[in-house]
Amino acid sequence: MLINNDTIVKDDDKRIRERSVDVSLPLSAEDRALLEDMLQYVKDSTVPELAEEKNLRPAVGISAIQVGVPKKMTAIVLKDGDGEIECQYALVNPKIVSNSLEKAYLANGEGCLSVDEDHDGYIYRSARVKVRGYDMIRDKNVEIRAEGYLAIVLQHELDHFKGILFYDHINNENPYYEDKEAIRIE
C-alpha cells in the first residue's frame, strides 16, 4: 500500500475516530504486507532525502487506522541521535497490561501524522507501561517494559485503536498546566 502524507487519514476524517478490531493470527498476507509498509514508512520518514522524495512526514510510529484500516496494528521505530535504530516493533493486537501511576510528558508536546494543525499543551501519560502483543519482526508474542519516551509513544499509538487523538488529553482550561510530580521528557 502506498503510504505518504497524501494517503494518511487526517483528523477531519471521521474514520480516524473508529475503533480498531483484533487481527487474526497468523497474519494474512494482506495484513503482513500492510504492517511491513507501515514499518517502512516510519523507517524512511526520518531520512531527509527519502522523506522528501516520497512525501513523508517524520514519524516514530503509525497505526493502521491512520491508513484507513481499523485493525490493531502499529509500527514503531526509535532512532538515536546518529540515526541508528534503537528499537523497533511491528505490533499486532498490543495491549497495555499494566501502567505506573507516576506520569510523564513531553516538554515540546506531541504530534501526529493525522494532525496537521498544532495543538499546544502537555499530554500526561503513564511514565511506565507493560505492553503485550505479537511482534511481526520477532515473529513471536512479546512483553515490552517501557519507560519514558517509548512508553509515551506506545500509549499514543494504542490510543489510535480507541479513536483517541493526542490532543484529546490536553487540558482545555489550562493547556500548560504543570504537574510537578510528573517526569518532564525533553
Prior bond to 26 cis, omega within 30? yes
DSSP 9: P
Side by side, which strands form the sheet with 125-126? 125-126, 103-106, 183-185
By the 8 A CB rule, do 72 and 20 touch? yes
- How many angstroms separate the CA atoms of 153 and 125, rounded? 10
Active-site residue identified among 147, 157, 173, 186: 157
What's CA 158's distance to the chain center, in Å?
7
| Residue type, position 77, single letter | V
36 catalytic? Reply is no
Cell 506506545 -> residue: 154
Selection from 179, 155, 180, 174 nearest residue 166 by Cα: 155
What are the grid coordinates assigned to 23, written together? 487481527
DSSP 21: B
Cell 499543551 -> residue: 121
> Any idea which residues carry the catalytic annotation?
157
